[in-house]
Amino acid sequence: MPGSKRICTQCLNDDRYLNNIIASDPDASESCDYCDSDEMTMSMETLAEKVDWLIENYYRGGEYNHYLEEYEGEPLFSVLEQEVTANDNIIDDLSELLEELW
């Protein structure tokens, strides 16, 4: 289950805000489930909650284009790749967690 996985600072884009959250996590010494590094970690569930807040406050949903039968704008995968990480496995797990929140 993605929510129980841990993610480290090395797997995330260099983001001071997320690094501060990781530093304050009481379980930060647990291993990363994505790269097995010794870097500090946080739960994917916590990351999903923070990314949910980021998306709600800095992005807006695209308009539905009836002609093309799709939403306009940047897909979630691209937003997560830009804001969080370039790792496809992490993006897939994070997308699943965000869908549960929404």
pLDDT at 68: 84
d(CA 98, CA 31): 23
Q: What is the pTM of this model?
A: 0.84
pLDDT digits (tens, 9 = 90+) for 12-21: 988 888 888 8
pLDDT at 77: 94
Domain count, the chain: 1
The per-residue b/e assignment along 49-83, b for 16 or more CB within 10 angstroms, e otherwise, is eebeebbeeeeeeeeeeeeeeeeeeeebeebbbeb
Parent domain of 54? 2-101
Alpha carbon separation from 43 to 37, 58, 102 (Å, rounded): 15, 23, 19
pLDDT at 69: 85
pLDDT band at 48 (very low <50, low <70, confident <90, very high): very high
Query: Coil, strand, or helix at residue 13?
Result: coil
Q: Which residue has the tokens 């998306």?
A: 55
